[in-house]
Amino acid sequence: MAREPLDPSPERMRELGYAVVDWLVAQAAALDAAPVANLAALDVLAADVEEQLPAHPSSLTNTLEFLEQRILPRMTRTNHPRFHAYVPGPGSYYGSLGAFIAAALNPFAGSSLGGASFAALELLTLRWVAETVGYPVTAEGIFTSGGSMANLGALAAARATLDDPSTAVVYVSDQGHTSMDKAATVLGFRSDQIVRLATNASFQVEPATVIDRCRMDRARGRRPLFLSANAGTTNTGTVDPLDALADVCETEGVWFHVDAAYGGFAALTERGRASLRGMERADSVTLDPHKWLYTPFGCGCVLVNRPGSLDRAFAAHGDYLKDVAQTEVNFFDRGPELTRPARALPVWMLMRSVGVDALRRQIDADLDLAELAERLLREEPDFEVVHRGLSIVTFRLVARRDESEEGRAAREERLVQTLLEGGDVLVSGTSLGGRSALRFVVLNHRTGEAEIRRSVAALRGAVRGLHDA
């Protein structure tokens, strides 16, 4: 059966696989002590990895050594227990085993014929995901590469409800993710068709804002089409008043989308379910298992509760697909891709291996730790907390006496730079209400109370170091 060198013998397969697993176990054990980041300019990194096109084989030992010596030292570890920047990507061992199995078996998950039992598994996993967040299990969906493509799928589905989208308007909160603008542009909406809605002091879109804007646009001959609300903004973790916005969308005849890429899985917990109430009424929802469901990157998901709407947006049939049953679910009809990996597998593997109760407990623990981070930051005289939404705490450096806003903002930038250089902890910068701010995100099963305390202490130390500079 072996076809060297692309497929080695069974003994060699075992040997290579075990060696990789041993290597990964060693990396996992070293994660805590490894730097969160150790960034260099891309030309330095390019020099680190430079090699001639390989005409001849390299041993696995040599390749793993290359990774260890020339890639890992400069790696940014979004799965590190003290990576609190952007949106962490904790990943998980079970999730990565699912990705390995998907890659090794390599089913063609684009069609019912090629995907076959894996297509059935994707449908099942979509149902599990819907059930997990309290969305109707009858919703149609697809696993995507991430939240950006899921948002695109949702908007494409909404656009396909119109014969003429040229007067349509797409509403996005001014705190909404930029992937929504990208999606609208890719789908051919003009910039004047994408309206950013102002948020209130709590970073939420108010129902009255949507109503006013819809009426204004209608009076101008426009067709309000789509509202993207947030179940956890990237910036502040803010959840919009989803139930009230669902009411508005119903009355105004607007497609109600909830971008829950970051926060959606918080609905597994009691407090998360309470704050995300109304999400179940959305026409479409974006979720990112590769964020708060601990799967490796490459696992996003869109669920749509309007039967056939993804197909209306994406269905296309080449002659060469003649043998594929059109009466079955074909995932190539639900998204822009034809060939696609079995993206459900990491999600299914993880959910099945650890069970939803453990995931709920973990998300609850992340929420508790975010509360702890907020409390500790509030106790620090150098910081003022702006907001906490789900597991994202936003805060600012307190201005020093006579310090200008520019000076304060510059110190925040220097703080992030110092943290990047130090490698012990990382937070990221943003802008809130036109003023610079910092974000501290907790989303990792490897993060415990000790890490949160250590991270806040490291922030205190770094900011005091700036004072001395």
Query: By the criterion CB under 6 A, which residues form the site for ligand PLP?
Result: 87, 146-148, 151, 177, 179, 234, 259, 261-262, 288, 300
**β-strand partners of 60:** none
Closest to ligand PLP by CB, 254 vs 443, is: 443
Name the one residue in this structure whose structure tokens are 């730790």.
369
Q: In angstroms, rounded to a whole number, what is the distance separating the alpha carbons of residues 62 and 158?
A: 51
The two beta strands, 284-287 and 300-304, are: antiparallel
Asked if residues 258 and 283 have their Cβ atoms less than 8 Å apart, the reply is no
Closest to ligand PLP by CB, 146 vs 272, is: 146
Closest to ligand PLP by CB, 181 vs 288, is: 288
Q: In angstroms, rounded to a whole number, what is the distance separating the alpha carbons of residues 463 and 469?
A: 10
Asked if residues 230 and 257 have their Cβ atoms less than 8 Å apart, the reply is no
Asked if residues 289 and 122 have their Cβ atoms less than 8 Å apart, the reply is no
Closest to ligand PLP by CB, 132 vs 151, is: 151
Task: Report, in Å, the least distance between residue 125 CB and ligand PLP.
Answer: 17
Task: Report, in Å, the least distance between residue 146 CB and ligand PLP.
Answer: 3
Task: Report, in Å, the least distance between residue 438 CB and ligand PLP.
Answer: 17
Task: Report, in Å, the least distance between residue 299 CB and ligand PLP.
Answer: 9
Closest to ligand PLP by CB, 114 vs 263, is: 263
Q: Is the dihedral of CA 266, 269, 271, 273 positive or negative?
A: positive
Q: Is the peptide bond before 5 cis (omega within 30 degrees of 0)?
A: yes
Q: How many CB atoms lie within 10 A of CB 119?
A: 23
Closest to ligand PLP by CB, 111 vs 275, is: 275
Closest to ligand PLP by CB, 299 vs 354, is: 299
Task: Report, in Å, the least distance between residue 214 CB and ligand PLP.
Answer: 23
Burial of 379 (0-12, 13-18, 19+ CB in 10 A): exposed
DSSP state of 239: B
Task: Report, in Å, the least distance between residue 175 CB and ligand PLP.
Answer: 9
Task: Specify the 3-state DSSP secondary structure of 224.
Answer: strand
